[in-house]
Amino acid sequence: MEIKREQWGSRLGFILAAAGSAVGLGNIWKFPYLVGENGGAAFIVLYLICIVLVGLPVVIAEILIGRTAQKNPVGSFRELSKGNPFWIAVGGLGVITGFLILSYYNVIAGWSLGYVIESIKGSFRQFNDPESAGQLFNSLSSQPYWTLTFHAAFMILTVAIIYAGVTKGIERASKFMMPMLLFLIIVLVIRGITLNGAGEGVRYLLKADFSAISGKTFMIALGQAFFSLSLGMGALLTYGSYMSKNENIPNSALSIVFLDTLIAILAGFMIFPAVFAMGLKPAQGPSLIFNVLPVMFNAIPGGYIFRIVFFLLLSMAALTSTISLLEVITTFVVDEFNFSRKKVSVILGGIVFLIGVPSAMSFCGWQKFTIFGLTCFGLVDFISANIFLPLGGIFIALFVGWFWGTRKALPYLLEGTKNFPGVITAT
C-alpha cells in the first residue's frame, strides 16, 4: 500500500524551510570568504547576475519538477521522462551530490556547534586580535576528538529532525530558526558598520574593481550561486514534492531567492567592516568567520551572550541545510524501496558521518594526504560545488525547457497562480 505523501502545513512553512535549505553556512561562512578571496564588490556583482539569470529560473524549474511528480529526484525524473535512463541518472546525480555535500558540510556545521560550547566556556573573552582567535581555531579544528565529536553531534541533531517528519520536524524547526537568524544578523551588521575604521570595509563591498575578475572568478560565482540556493542537489526538488498544487511556484521561488540573497549580502556587511576595522586583509579563507566574529563580540556590550546566541543560530542555519540534504537521500530510499522513514534516517545518518570522516581528518593530521593537490575536504568540496551542482542545474533547465518542453510544463507551473506572467504578485 502506498503511503500518503506528507505536505507542508502552510505556504510560509514551505518558504522558510526552502529558504532555510538555501540559507546556511553557504551564505554566512562560505560567501564572505569567497568575496574576500575574489575581489569584493566585483565578485558580488557577478554573483547577483548569476542569481538573477541562472539561479531564479532553476529554482522555479526544480520546485516545478518536484511538485508535479510528487516524488524524490530519481522518481520525479523517471515519471516525467517516461523512464528515460539518462534523465533518471540526472535525478541520481542530485541524490549523490546531496550526499557528498552533506558529508563535508556537516564537519563545518560541527565546528559552529563546537563554538557554541567554546563561547559558553568563555574561551574568547581575552582575545583582542583575530590572530589569537585564528590560533584557537587552528588548534581546535586540528584535534580529532574535538572535530569528530561535534561532527557526530551535529549529525545526530539532523537525524532527529528528519526522524520527526516534514511538518513536525523540518517545518516547525524552520519557522523558529529562520526569523531568529535574520534578526541577529541585522543586529551584528549595525554593530559592524559602526566600528571605527569600518568605512573601508563598506567601500570594499560597494566599489567594484572589475580588473580582479577572471574566467575562474565567474565560475566560482556561478558555483556559489548554485551552492547558496541549494540547486542541483535535489533539495528544492524534494521540498517541492511536498508542496500543494494550490501554491504559486514563481511567487514562492522569488521569496526564497530574495531571502537567501539578502542574508548573503548582510553576512558580507556583518563581516568585512569588522575585518577592515581590525586591520585585516579580506582574503582570510575558510576560517574567516571563526577568526573575526569571536573578537568582534568583545567590542559589543553583552558580547558574551551575543557570541553564544550567534554561534547557536549559526548552528541552526547550518541545521536547516543539513536536514534538507539528509531529507533528499532519505526520501529517495523511502520512495524507491518503501522502507520506514525513521529507520532509514538513522542508518543514512550513520553512513554520511562515516563518509565525512576523511573530510574532518583533512584538518586533523591528514593535511598532507592530497588528491590532485587537494585534501579530502577540498576535493569533495570542489567536485560537488563546482562540477556536480552547476551540471545538475544545467540538466534541470534543459529538462524543463527542452525535453519536457515549456508547452507541457507551463500548465503545471500555472497551477496555483491567478495569471501569467504576472504570477509574482501575491496570491
Looking at the chain, how many residues does it have?
A: 427
Q: Say what the pLDDT of residue 155 is.
A: 93
Q: Which residues of 24-55 are buried (b: 16+ CB within 10 A; e: fewer)?
A: bbbbbbbbbbbbbbbbbbbbbebbbebbeebb
Q: Does the residue 3 lie in any domain?
A: no
H-helix or E-strand spanning residue 253: helix 249-277
Q: Does the residue 16 lie in any domain?
A: yes
Cβ neighbours, 10 Å, residue 129: 13
Q: Say what the pLDDT of residue 89 is.
A: 94
Q: Say what the pLDDT of residue 13 is.
A: 63
Does the pLDDT value for residue 374 go beyond 90?
no
Does the pLDDT value for residue 62 go beyond 60?
yes
pLDDT: is 276 or 395 the higher one?
395
Model's pTM, two decimal places? 0.80
Partners of 371 in beta bridges: 374
Domain count, the chain: 1
- Name the DSSP letter for residue 70: T
Closest alpha carbon to 123 in 115, 111, 112 = 115
DSSP state string for 348-413: HHHHHHHHHHHHHHTTTT-TT--BTTB-HHHHHHHIIIIIIHHHHHHHHHHIIIIIIIHHHHHHHH
Q: Say what the pLDDT of residue 151 is.
A: 92
Q: Does the residue 330 lie in any domain?
A: yes
In which band, very low, low, confident or very high, does the pLDDT at 423 lie, cut at 50, 70 and 90?
Answer: very low
What's the CATH number where 393 sits?
Answer: 1.10.4160.10
Q: Does the residue 110 lie in any domain?
A: yes
Q: Does the residue 400 lie in any domain?
A: yes
Q: Does the residue 274 lie in any domain?
A: yes
CA atoms within 13 A on the CB side of 245: 6
Amino acid at 4: K
Q: Does the residue 1 lie in any domain?
A: no
Q: Does the residue 5 lie in any domain?
A: no
Rounded CA separation 413/52 (Å): 19
**Average pLDDT over the chain, rounded to an integer:** 81
Closest alpha carbon to 112 in 71, 79, 77, 154 = 154
Range of the domain at 81: 11-424
Residue partners of 348: CB distance under 8 A and separation at least 6: 326, 329, 330, 333
Residue pair 8/244 in contact by the 8 Å Cβ criterion: yes
Does the pLDDT value for residue 427 go beyond 70?
no
